[in-house]
Structure formats: structure tokens, C-alpha cells
């Protein structure tokens, strides 16, 4: 039986991926809370919940040891899915929040990949990184998140080339907006973070922030389902010769086209969209 490890498995893309892969593989599901651990333990015999905090090296080491013991020292697939979104104007984003964004979305996948490499080498396994169209297209108030996803793109490209001689393939899945609880949690966290700032610093952005939230709700409502992304992840893990990148969702394709336009035209389109958002 194939063995796959999925980080960030409590909700959204990670949870959907665990459930889909469990039809044909044993899936180790990385979670942080006891409630999520218990919930995933009830999914079925092919799902093995594992406590994991992707920014805690001791937690990662314990998870790796647990998977190594259960599999006999090999791993066929690693899905680096865990991630957060920090949404705020870059001028006023709290430095601690910016660092957290990069720690979870960039350093975390690297630490997990490094820890699980011996198991992946043993099986000539495969690594799937869950990126985002925001790794190719940066929009207002999403600069911290886009910075993390642009960095993940670069890291994935380098890993793909570095690991190719060892038969380990690295694939990047790039969804557009996805209907997941992540975005509501993002808004709640953003409200709390911005609410703690000096009102005078926030005031110039207040109207634009409201428009950004309206646009985010609209995009999420029309976004891909987590199950659709999970289907692409399964394909990336299963096909003999996977593509380097898989774009997921109509909106991702639209944003990719806009992102390739000359900067002057692109900026006018984005600013116009914000001006019309309600």
C-alpha cells in the first residue's frame, strides 16, 4: 500500500485530500489540535492522524519518527499543504504577522521536506507543494501572502531540479480561490490584527480594506471546491510523468492572464476592479 503524508489536514484542501487519497493509500494526516486528531481518526482505517506543527522542529521530528516506524522507513508522497493567510496593507502589517506568514508558508514546508527526505529517498517518492495563483499574481492587501507563495514557487523550482537526479519529483499545485474556512479565519485574524493598530494608521486604507473584503467574499463564493483541488493533488501524485505545475480553477486562469499583462495595463485593471467593488 502506498503511504502519503499530508500537512494541514484539519480542514479545507488538506482534509479533502486526505479523504480522497485514503481510497487507495494509507494517509498520515498532520494536525495540530486534539479535536482534529480525533475527527480524522474516525474517517477510516486508512487515515492515521499525526500531531504536527510545521514551524516546530521538535514536532516535525516526532511526526517523522512516527511515520518512519509505521511505514518501515519509506514514504511515497508528501503533500505540503499547511498554510495561513495574512491580509493587510504592507505599510501597516505587524512585523510579527509578516514573519509568521513566511514561517508557516515557506519555512514550514522546507523543514518538513528536509525531515522526511530520508523516507522519500527510500521510496523514490514524490513531493506536492500546495501553492496559489497568488504566487504569480500579487494583489493589494495580499502582499504578505503573495510574498510567501512567490517564495514557495522559487523553492519548488529549485527542489525539482535538485532532487531530479534521485528520481524524486516535485510538483506545484496552484489553486485560485477555494471555498474553505481559511478565508473566514483570515478575515477574523485580519480584523483582530488591524483593530490593534493605531486607528490613524489604518484610516487611509479603511475604504479600500472594505472593498477588498467584498471582493474576497465574491471570489470565494465562485471558487473551486476543496475536493476539486484534492483531485488534482491525487493526479499529481499518481501519474507517471507529472507536470511541474497544475493550475486549478477558472479564476486562477483569469488571474494568470492578467498577471502576464504589461504592468501599466495590469495595475489599471486591478485598481478599476477595486474601485467598482461593493
* Catalytic residue annotation: 145
How far apart, in whole angstroms, are the C-alpha atoms of residue 92 and residue 186? 16
How far apart, in whole angstroms, are the C-alpha atoms of residue 11 and residue 167? 31
Amino acid at each position: 500500500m502506498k503511504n502519503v503524508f499530508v500537512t494541514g489536514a484539519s480542514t479545507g484542501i488538506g482534509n479533502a485530500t486526505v479523504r480522497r487519497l485514503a481510497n487507495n493509500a494509507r494517509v498520515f494526516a498532520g494536525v495540530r489540535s486534539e479535536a482534529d486528531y480525533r475527527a480524522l481518526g474516525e474517517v477510516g482505517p486508512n487515515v492515521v492522524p499525526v500531531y504536527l506543527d510545521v514551524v516546530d522542529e521538535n514536532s516535525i521530528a516526532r511526526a517523522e519518527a512516527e511515520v518512519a516506524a509505521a511505514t518501515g522507513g519509506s514514504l511515497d508522497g508528501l503533500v505540503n499543504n499547511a498554510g495561513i493567510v495574512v491580509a493587510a496593507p504592507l505599510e501597516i502589517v505587524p512585523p510579527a504577522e509578516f514573519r509568521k506568514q513566511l514561517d508557516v508558508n515557506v519555512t514550514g514546508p522546507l523543514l518538513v521536506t528536509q525531515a522526511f527526505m530520508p523516507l522519500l529517498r527510500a521510496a523514490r517518492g514524490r513531493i506536492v507543494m500546495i501553492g496559489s495563483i497568488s504566487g504569480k499574481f500579487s494583489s493589494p492587501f495580499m502582499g504578505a501572502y503573495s510574498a510567501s507563495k512567490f517564495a514557495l514557487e522559487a523553492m519548488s523550482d529549485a527542489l525539482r531540479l535538485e532532487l531530479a537526479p534521485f528520481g524524486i519529483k516535485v510538483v506545484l499545485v496552484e489553486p485560485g480561490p477555494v471555498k474553505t474556512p481559511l478565508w473566514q479565519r483570515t478575515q477574523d485574524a485580519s480584523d483582530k490584527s488591524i483593530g490593534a493598530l493605531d486607528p490613524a494608521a489604518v484610516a487611509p486604507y479603511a475604504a479600500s480594506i472594505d472593498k477588498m473584503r467584498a471582493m474576497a467574499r465574491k471570489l470565494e463564493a465562485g471558487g473551486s471546491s476543496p475536493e476539486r483541488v484534492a483531485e488534482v493533488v491525487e493526479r499529481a501524485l499518481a501519474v507517471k510523468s507529472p507536470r511541474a505545475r497544475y493550475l486549478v480553477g477558472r479564476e486562477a486562469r483569469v488571474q494568470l492572464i492578467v498577471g502576464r499583462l504589461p504592468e501599466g495595463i495590469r495595475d489599471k485593471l486591478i485598481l478599476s476592479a477595486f474601485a467598482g467593488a461593493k
